[in-house]
Every structure is written in structure tokens, then in C-alpha cells.
């Protein structure tokens, strides 16, 4: 026995699959966008921290016009690592271990992603200029300061995953509501087809009259089927009428021959028969 096919089920499944694919594409786009936004905000935080460290570089008030790092009033996160050094490579201050990467001078801050102790960190390398005693005749002593500051990016991915979870939950609810609405709406949309089938079922050999219901006539998709049914029934009706006329003519012709045979037999039976 062949498996039954449901148009309603196919339509519902098709629409739900289309929505699911669209939802997955949307979530992927949201993931990329949210990651970009969160990383951009995180980079702004790193730059703010690096600039705070730059502001903490003060005059050491020694004979060599050196600089020192004064961290009073500077807030540094507990998972942050940094290193501040001058142009001679002298470390003014640091915390944690800084990965070995190129910190050569550049006009713009450089951001890097680094894996440390199983955790993901993002670093910014920032170069700035600190002038000591700018009122001197030669414009003061210039110090080129390099700051490497990094922090764990775990909370960035946490924010991204929270956004993904929210949109996935909203999409699941939307798909469920869509399935419920379609399960109710599609049968109502197919009701003209059911009415057309019910009307066609009333056709019999004795009653060839077929008048399509108004709902089928008004449905654009059913108009070709309605016209085809009416044309097919008209042809079948003509064929049956031709067969009926042929049968009646044949019966009439056969009745004449049978009547002749019957009369001959009756005449023969009425005659006197000899014993021979």
C-alpha cells in the first residue's frame, strides 16, 4: 500500500524549514555583528585603560629627568596584565606575564588576540609621548612610552552567547506560533478544494449535472481544475449518449429478427404434422 501524502503537512513542514534556515542565517549574522560590536566596545575599554596608564607616567624628579609610573588613582581590572616601558626599554611598571610579540613603534594602536593559560586575552600596544619640564628652553625632555595592556575576553563571548540564546529562544517561539497558525489556516485555505471534490462525488450515470461551487470558481488556482472537470464530464456524457443510442438501435434491429423467427416458429407449430 502506497504511503499517503498530505499537502497540509508538506506546506507546514516546507514553511517551517524555510523559517528555520532563515533563523539560522539570521543568528549567524547576529553572532558576527554582536562579536564585532562587543570587541569594538572592548577595544575602547582597553584603550581607555592604556591612556590611564599613560596619564600615570610622571616625572621621577631625579637628575636624569626620568619618568616613573604612579598607579595611585588608576583602576586596573583584576584579570588585566600590562607593561609600561620607556624608550630605553626600562620597565616602569608591570603586572602579570606579557606574551612575547613585536611592540615596535606604530602610529596607531595594535590589537592582538593571545591565548594564555587556557584563557583568551586581547592586548593593545599603545605608543605615546611624555614630556618632562616642557618649560625648559629646548622644550623639555621627551620620553617615548610604550604600553602593552591586555585583559581576558571571556565576558565578551558571554555577551555574544547571551544574544544568541535570546534570539534562538525568540526564534523557537516564533516557529512554534507559525506552525500552530498554519495548521489552522491551511485547512481553511484548502476548503474550496474539498467542496469541489464533494460536488464531483455526486456525479453518477443517471445524473451528469456538475456545477462547481462558487468557492472553487473564485479560487484562481482551482479555476483550471474546474474547467477541466466540466470539459471531461461533457465529453464523457456525449460518449455515454452515443453508446446508449447505439445500444437502442441494435436492440431495435435484433427485435425485428427475433419477431420474424418467432412468427415462423408459431406458424410451423400450428400446422398439422404427419407421423413421419
pLDDT at 229: 81
Domain boundary among 134, 161, 188: 161
Q: CA-CA distance, 163 to 137, in Å (whole number)?
A: 57
**Residues contacting 130, CB < 8 A, separation 6+:** 54, 57, 67, 142, 143, 145
pLDDT at 105: 65
The answer to whether position 236 is within a domain reads yes
| pTM greater than the 0.75 cutoff | no
The answer to whether position 227 is within a domain reads yes
pLDDT at 88: 85
Domain that holds residue 128: 7-161
Q: Are 12 and 179 in contact (CB under 8 A)?
A: yes
pLDDT at 269: 75
pLDDT at 96: 85
SS3 120: strand
Pair (109, 238) in one structural domain: no
Pair (97, 225) in one structural domain: no
Residues of the chain with pLDDT under 70: 1-4, 105-106, 135, 137, 271, 273, 276
How long a stretch of residues is the chain? 276
Pair (136, 14) in one structural domain: yes
Q: How many helices (H) and strands (E) does the chain have?
A: 5, 7
The answer to whether position 95 is within a domain reads yes
Pair (13, 68) in one structural domain: yes
The answer to whether position 242 is within a domain reads yes
123 burial (CB, 10 Å; 0-12 / 13-18 / 19+) is buried
Domain boundary among 111, 135, 161: 161
- Torsion on CA atoms 170, 11, 190, 174, rounded to nearest 10: 0
Q: CA-CA distance, 67 to 273, in Å (whole number)?
A: 159
Domain boundary among 161, 184, 214: 161
Q: What is the number of domains present in the chain?
A: 2
Pair (128, 232) in one structural domain: no
pLDDT at 135: 67
Pair (37, 104) in one structural domain: yes
pLDDT at 1: 53
pLDDT at 137: 66
Amino acid at each position: 500500500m502506497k504511503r499517503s501524502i498530505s499537502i497540509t503537512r508538506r506546506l507546514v513542514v516546507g514553511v517551517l524549514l524555510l523559517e528555520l534556515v532563515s533563523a539560522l542565517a539570521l543568528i549567524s549574522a547576529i553572532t558576527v555583528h554582536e562579536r564585532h560590536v562587543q570587541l569594538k566596545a572592548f577595544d575602547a575599554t582597553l584603550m581607555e585603560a592604556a591612556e590611564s596608564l599613560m596619564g600615570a607616567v610622571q616625572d621621577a624628579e631625579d637628575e636624569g629627568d626620568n619618568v616613573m609610573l604612579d598607579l595611585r588613582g588608576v583602576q586596573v581590572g583584576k584579570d588585566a596584565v600590562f607593561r609600561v616601558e620607556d624608550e630605553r626599554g626600562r620597565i616602569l611598571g608591570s603586572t602579570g606575564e606579557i606574551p612575547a610579540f613585536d611592540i615596535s613603534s606604530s602610529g596607531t594602536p595594535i590589537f592582538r588576540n593571545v591565548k594564555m593559560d587556557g584563557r583568551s586575552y586581547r592586548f593593545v600596544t599603545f605608543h605615546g609621548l611624555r614630556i618632562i619640564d616642557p618649560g625648559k628652553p629646548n622644550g623639555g625632555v621627551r620620553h617615548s612610552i610604550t604600553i602593552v595592556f591586555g585583559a581576558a575576553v571571556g565576558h565578551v563571548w558571554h555577551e555574544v552567547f547571551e544574544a544568541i540564546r535570546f534570539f534562538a529562544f525568540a526564534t523557537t517561539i516564533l516557529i512554534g506560533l507559525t506552525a500552530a497558525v498554519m495548521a489552522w489556516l491551511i485547512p481553511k485555505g484548502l476548503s474550496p478544494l474539498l467542496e469541489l471534490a464533494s460536488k464531483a462525488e455526486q456525479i453518477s450515470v443517471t445524473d451528469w449535472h456538475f456545477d462547481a461551487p462558487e468557492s472553487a470558481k473564485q479560487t484562481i488556482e482551482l479555476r483550471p481544475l474546474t474547467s477541466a472537470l466540466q470539459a471531461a464530464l461533457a465529453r464523457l456524457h456525449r460518449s455515454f449518449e452515443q453508446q446508449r443510442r447505439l445500444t437502442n438501435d441494435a436492440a431495435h434491429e435484433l427485435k425485428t429478427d427475433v419477431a420474424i423467427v418467432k412468427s415462423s416458429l408459431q406458424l410451423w407449430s400450428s400446422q398439422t404434422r404427419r407421423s413421419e
